[in-house]
Structure 1
Amino acid sequence: MHPLIEGILSATELRMAGVKQSFDRLESRDIIGSAMSARQKGLIPVIAEIKPRAISRPLRAGEAGDIARFYEQMGACGISVLTEPTYFLGSISSLEEARTSTSIPVLRKDFIINRKQIREAEADLVLLIASIADIEELIEDVRAAGMEPLVEVHDKYELDRAADAGATIVGINNRDLRTLEVDLGRFESLGPLARDLGLFTVAESGVRSRDDAMRMMSAGADAILIGTSIMKNPSLLGEITGIDIKGEEAI
């Protein structure tokens, strides 16, 4: 594991002492249905990420809600919100703003290592990283809270483990957590295997253009999670989804 990731995990363990349960159970929004709806409209299904680190500052009050509404207008089928504060400058309040400001599914993206974190904040999906967490136990806990787990994997072993644990949605991360290098070929190798297992498959990391997105879709992605490139250049989202190409919704 890269030293940066190890540092984030250590900071997460320290924060867990103050984690409090904020809800019992909720009714989540359906990311699979939302992605299918986007494709029926001729759009590339994008889970657009609110990622403060990409702009090198925490978000101001109300800013996450504004970004979320813009993402929805630009055709996003879902929104991912980074809530990790130490490195990614995220917050639970940004997650709450995004979810109350839009009607599409919202993913909590964080380093979830303990069941105490799951009911810390309301979301529709919760990211679980197979390489750092006991996903078998946490998948059950996430569903018991009324949310859906999105299990992030990096290789075939983790993919098989996620499927055996009952995951229905997997994110294949093109970023190697040991080196932090990105290779879109990772999804091209693992995406077809995930589809063969009957999993809803999300391509994560490294998509910077419509051509990159089309490459992931050609490899079998059901949706694409994009963060850094659209936080730095929000207008890029409409180009990638296809909603602003010549004023038409077309791939």
Structure 2
Amino acid sequence: MNASEGVAPAIESILAAARERGGGDERVSVDARSLPAALSTAEADGRVPIIAEVKPTSPTTDGRRDADPVELATAMVDGGAAAISVLTEPDHFGGSPDALRAVRAAVDVPVLRKDFVLDESQLDTVEADAVLLIARFLDDLDGMIAAARERGFHPLVEVHTAGELDRALAADADLVGVNNRDLARLDVDLSTFERVSSAAPDDVTLIAESGIGSSEDARRMREAGADGLLIGSAIMDGDIAANTRRLTTAEVEA
């Protein structure tokens, strides 16, 4: 598989940098907080189950936010976030493993590691409760899912097409994120989740990723079957706690 074939230049650059990064010196072993359980608890409490993302910047975002990641994550939890996602990719997203370590020590909800993890050794970079695995960029998806689980991580397998969903399900993924962003053009279409997720079995936990900017978007993704929503820019732009609270109460206000 040529992972970078057909993707935008910005994604090619991210993949090139990821190939150059090493992994951890020692194999990690994680006593993970359950991401699916946290999403279910939020729903039972009457909140929209949101994974709020600490994202300093990205190739599709103008500017950079250099606030303390712990302060950001704490505000997100105060706003009702069920879990936190932390970018650890340094070159294009301004993230770091140190930021994730600090956030995970400060909050009591699950923390997702968001990065372009390309080989098993990179799983050992930092402990988290869940780790993102992007199906398109992994030849041995089965092996990476197994390796993540052996370390205690909950692997969140990201897909964008029906074919990638089939690969994820064949690899026994039970936590699947559908990315609404096209990695070739970098545009966003919320109908991607609606189209792709319709083929997922009921026992798979589904996360809608990218492009969720309003309460209306949140309701749309939930009505399409999303068990959780991964939201970054719409929360990071402005008052963190207020933005999170607005989105976690989207169904109450409908």
* TM-score between both structures, scaled by the size of structure 1: 0.92
**Aligned twin of 1:149:** 155
Query: 1:135: how far off?
Result: 1.5
TM-aligned CA distance change 1:167 to 1:229, over 3 Å: same
Tell me whether 229-238 or 113-122 shows the greater mean CA deviation: 229-238
The alignment partner of 2:218 has SS state of: helix
The alignment partner of 2:156 has SS state of: strand
**Aligned twin of 2:4:** none
Aligned counterparts of 1:55 and 1:135: Cα–Cα separation in 2: 33
**Aligned twin of 2:237:** 232
Q: Does 1:131 align with 2:136?
A: yes
TM-aligned CA distance change 1:40 to 1:197, over 3 Å: closer
The alignment partner of 1:52 has SS state of: coil
Tell me which amino acid in the other structure corresponds to 1:81. Answer: V
How many residues get paired?
Answer: 242
Query: 1:58: how far off?
Result: 6.3
Aligned counterparts of 1:89 and 1:22: Cα–Cα separation in 2: 24
**Aligned twin of 1:185:** 191
Q: Does 1:91 align with 2:96?
A: yes
| Cα pair 1:55 1:232 within 8 Å, conserved | no
Aligned counterparts of 1:95 and 1:5: Cα–Cα separation in 2: 22
| Cα pair 1:74 1:238 within 8 Å, conserved | yes
| Cα pair 1:81 1:94 within 8 Å, conserved | yes
TM-aligned CA distance change 1:170 to 1:149, over 3 Å: same
The alignment partner of 2:92 has SS state of: coil
Query: 1:197: how far off?
Result: 5.3
1:80 to 85, 97, 106: 85
Aligned counterparts of 2:62 and 2:35: Cα–Cα separation in 1: 26
2:28 to 19, 24, 30: 24
Tell me which amino acid in the other structure corresponds to 2:216. Answer: D
| Cα pair 2:35 2:154 within 8 Å, conserved | no
Tell me which amino acid in the other structure corresponds to 2:77. Answer: E
TM-aligned CA distance change 1:197 to 1:135, over 3 Å: farther
The alignment partner of 1:182 has SS state of: coil
Aligned counterparts of 1:57 and 1:98: Cα–Cα separation in 2: 19
Aligned counterparts of 1:47 and 1:227: Cα–Cα separation in 2: 9
1:100 to 85, 100, 105: 105
Tell me which amino acid in the other structure corresponds to 1:237. Answer: T
Q: Does 1:121 align with 2:134?
A: no
Aligned counterparts of 1:250 and 1:42: Cα–Cα separation in 2: 11
Q: Does 1:39 align with 2:46?
A: no
1:205 to 210, 222, 229: 210
Aligned counterparts of 2:24 and 2:149: Cα–Cα separation in 1: 18
TM-aligned CA distance change 1:90 to 1:167, over 3 Å: same
**Aligned twin of 1:215:** 220
* TM-score between both structures, scaled by the size of structure 2: 0.91
TM-aligned CA distance change 1:131 to 1:4, over 3 Å: same
| Cα pair 2:50 2:248 within 8 Å, conserved | yes
Aligned counterparts of 1:58 and 1:216: Cα–Cα separation in 2: 27
Gaps of 5+ in 1: none
Query: 1:210: how far off?
Result: 0.7
Query: 1:237: how far off?
Result: 1.2
TM-aligned CA distance change 1:38 to 1:213, over 3 Å: same
- The share of aligned pairs that are identical, in percent, is 40
| Cα pair 2:53 2:231 within 8 Å, conserved | yes
Q: Output one character per residue of 1:115-161: Cα deviation in whole Å (capped at 9) or x when no partner.
A: 11101101000000000113211101101111110000001110010
| Cα pair 2:28 2:127 within 8 Å, conserved | no
| Cα pair 2:24 2:123 within 8 Å, conserved | no
